[in-house]
């Protein structure tokens, strides 16, 4: 599966986003169409990384200006050995519940 982009997570793992995943993301969250850059930046340079529900990680980054106002971009991804891939991404205004899952890494 061809990658649209590959970035490096905070653990130093290459994380890919495929055309198939990007299509899935923008079909479910059309406000992200044209904003692959936000998804890439959120994983590469997050404000924090939070524990997911299963064994995925959630990269979280606040953006003061998006197409829909001040939002947090949340990107769910998995790391398996020395390989990683993006599962989904979305924007939200509320991250309190996410942060309660446990912060794995935080920008100092």
pLDDT digits (tens, 9 = 90+) for 60-106: 999 999 888 999 999 999 999 999 999 999 999 999 999 999 999 99
Sorting pLDDT into bands at 50, 70 and 90, what band is 2?
Answer: confident
At residue 1, does pLDDT exceed 80?
no
99: left (phi over 0), alpha (psi -120 to 50) or beta: alpha
Sign of the C-alpha dihedral computed for residues 42, 47, 50 and 55 taken in this order: positive
- 47 with 59: CB under 8 angstroms? no
Strand partners, 16: 6, 85
pTM for the full predicted model? 0.95
Looking up tokens 């979305």 gives 90
Q: In the prediction, which pLDDT does 67 show?
A: 83
Which residues are CB-contacts of 24 (< 8 A; sequence separation ≥ 6)? Answer: 88
Domain ranges of the chain: 3-99
């Amino acid at each position: 599966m061809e990658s649209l982009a590959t970035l490096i997570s905070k653990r130093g793992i290459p994380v890919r986003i495929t055309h198939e995943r990007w299509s899935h993301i923008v079909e479910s969250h059309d406000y992200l169409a044209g904003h692959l850059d936000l998804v890439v930046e959120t994983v590469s340079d997050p404000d924090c990384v939070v524990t997911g529900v299963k064994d995925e990680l959630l990269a979280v980054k606040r953006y003061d200006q998006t197409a829909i106002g001040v939002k947090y971009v949340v990107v769910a991804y998995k790391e398996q050995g020395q390989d990683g891939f993006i599962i989904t991404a979305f924007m939200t205004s509320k991250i309190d519940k996410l942060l309660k899952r446990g912060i794995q890494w935080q920008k100092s």
